[in-house]
Chain A
């Protein structure tokens, strides 16, 4: 039970990051972080904090890839008005 609460806390704190950082930017930053680390130009302190950031980015990217659920909507136009409706994937999956 306690574990679940912790998980939930982490989820809310990291979901902020996840929603604010587009996947592409997170991945680009991760690539930069790896490059910086591999350049060997960082001091040990900087390397450690950069590594921490990198691992966080890996976590964010992975979570977003693995937890993403496809969102599908249908858009039609009626007299210049956009009409958005849910597109039921299940119906055509059978």
Chain B
């Protein structure tokens, strides 16, 4: 009796046969993609078919990094990989390691060889790359003047930063002439300094359609451009040699327009913020200045500026009285003596002698008055000098000469005259002629201790 297998055992047997057949473990199959799907996992699934048959193909996400084209239904490709059985469904399928578009094998080889050569020349080095201007004045677009790419770029540029002028250098982006035209366009902009940044690109297309952007002519034109170049070819997944050599690579033409320009909306917001910050800073400044003014204006020396002189004025008044009293006393004494003499004369002498004595007396009186006059003048001069001296003592005038008043900030703004009044770390206010300084005491040094006292 024949042995009956379970389904699983059968599948295992088939799997063993397939995986042990070398021809099936390294095989290339040509066909057309259909039912292409790329779920969240990133693995790629599709059916490879030709007119007569079909096979399921899986490419795991770990392999997809090597893909240089975006796979689509209807695309003719060559899949390289191995054959195995998917046990759950019992179906055999192909596990792809590489997928390249069919019919462009020669282009691929050319691409790889050129890439290697240019890389060896150092054309893709990061050190060769130019920085993009932050606020470009003019942007040049080397692209087809028709089609979605140029429209997308103009829309994005106009929306973000319309201040930037746009120069379009129309070129063919596919076909026999494309690489020559693109390279010439790049050189035209660089040679005539037509812009301060340029975008070289086009919308999506097949590997062959994008191939001009991987041509040596275009790559070398980008490498020798004196103006920074952003490459923007096809979609995110399309990689051309222009992307390697360009100063920046954009995933799409729209992305390139965004890379090239600052965000106008963000700038307006930035302006708004600058305005708010300036206004609040200045408002605070004015408030502080006013508070300072209030503080100074309320100080006694300004509120009652003459109060400081009161004591001196009293002394001056007193001196004046003393002066007056002294002089007047002495004069009146003299007059009394003269009167006495006159009396004695009038009693004891002849009239002519009395008359003579009277003249003498008048003369003496006159001399006394002149002396008094001179004395008072001298006294006034002394008072004027005293006043000038007082002016020197005026506390405001002292500040004016560069001295400062040190005031404590904790003890009711007490004026500090001795080191004994402060400790290191104390906050003090230095009152200058035109304002105050907030200071902190770093150290206290006794002159006696340091021997510096004069």
Cβ of B268: which chain A residues have Cβ within 8 Å of it? 62, 65-66
Cβ of B158: which chain A residues have Cβ within 8 Å of it? 70
Q: How far is the CA of A40 from the CA of B282 in the complex (A)?
A: 9
Cβ of B286: which chain A residues have Cβ within 8 Å of it? 44
Cβ of A71: which chain B residues have Cβ within 8 Å of it? 165-166
A75 in contact with B162 given A54-B274, A58-B271 (CB within 8 Å): no
Cβ 8 A contact of B275, one of A58, A65, A87: A58
The answer to whether B281 touches A38 (Cβ under 8 A) is: yes
Per-position binary interface string of chain A over residues 34-74, scored 1 when its CB falls under 8 Å from any chain B CB and 0 otherwise: 10011010101001100100110010011011101111111
Q: Report if A93 contacts B (CB, 8 A).
A: yes
Cβ of A42: which chain B residues have Cβ within 8 Å of it? 285
The answer to whether A38 touches B135 (Cβ under 8 A) is: no
Q: Report if B390 contacts A (CB, 8 A).
A: no
Cβ of A31: which chain B residues have Cβ within 8 Å of it? 274
The answer to whether A70 touches B135 (Cβ under 8 A) is: no
- Residues of B355-409 at the interface with A, using a CB-CB cut-off of 8 Å, are none
Cβ of A27: which chain B residues have Cβ within 8 Å of it? 135, 267
The answer to whether B192 touches A24 (Cβ under 8 A) is: no
Q: Report if B278 contacts A (CB, 8 A).
A: yes
Nearest-Cβ distance from residue B434 to partner chain A, whole angstroms: 10
- Shortest Cβ distance from B286 into A: residue: A44
Q: How far is the CA of A44 from the CA of B290 in the complex (A)?
A: 10
The answer to whether A44 touches B168 (Cβ under 8 A) is: no
The answer to whether B289 touches A72 (Cβ under 8 A) is: no
Cβ of B166: which chain A residues have Cβ within 8 Å of it? 70-73, 87
Q: How far is the CA of A82 from the CA of B157 in the complex (A)?
A: 24
Cβ of A69: which chain B residues have Cβ within 8 Å of it? 162
Nearest-Cβ distance from residue A38 to partner chain B, whole angstroms: 5
Q: How far is the CA of A46 from the CA of B74 in the complex (A)?
A: 72
The answer to whether B151 touches A92 (Cβ under 8 A) is: yes
A70 in contact with B169 given A23-B135, A47-B285 (CB within 8 Å): no
Per-position binary interface string of chain B over residues 274-314, scored 1 when its CB falls under 8 Å from any chain A CB and 0 otherwise: 11011101100110010000000000000000000000000
- Residues of B119-174 at the interface with A, using a CB-CB cut-off of 8 Å, are 134-135, 137, 140, 145-146, 150-151, 154, 157-158, 161-170
Q: How far is the CA of A62 from the CA of B274 in the complex (A)?
A: 12
- Shortest Cβ distance from B150 into A: residue: A92
Q: Report if B320 contacts A (CB, 8 A).
A: no
Nearest-Cβ distance from residue B186 to partner chain A, whole angstroms: 12
The answer to whether B278 touches A34 (Cβ under 8 A) is: yes
Q: How far is the CA of A51 from the CA of B278 in the complex (A)?
A: 6
Q: Report if B194 contacts A (CB, 8 A).
A: yes
Nearest-Cβ distance from residue A76 to partner chain B, whole angstroms: 7
The answer to whether A23 touches B167 (Cβ under 8 A) is: no
Cβ 8 A contact of A74, one of B151, B168, B278, B285: B168
The answer to whether A48 touches B282 (Cβ under 8 A) is: yes
Nearest-Cβ distance from residue B386 to partner chain A, whole angstroms: 38
The answer to whether A75 touches B168 (Cβ under 8 A) is: yes
- Shortest Cβ distance from B289 into A: residue: A44
The answer to whether A51 touches B168 (Cβ under 8 A) is: no
Q: How far is the CA of A51 from the CA of B165 in the complex (A)?
A: 31
Cβ of A93: which chain B residues have Cβ within 8 Å of it? 151
A55 in contact with B165 given A75-B188, A75-B194 (CB within 8 Å): no
Measuring CB to CB, which residues of chain A are less than 8 angstroms from any residue of chain B? 22-24, 27, 30-31, 33-34, 37-38, 40, 42, 44, 47-48, 51, 54-55, 58, 61-62, 64-66, 68-77, 82, 87, 89, 92-93
13 interchain pairs (CB within 8 A)? A23-B135, A37-B278, A37-B281, A40-B281, A54-B274, A55-B275, A58-B274, A64-B163, A65-B264, A68-B162, A71-B165, A74-B170, A89-B154
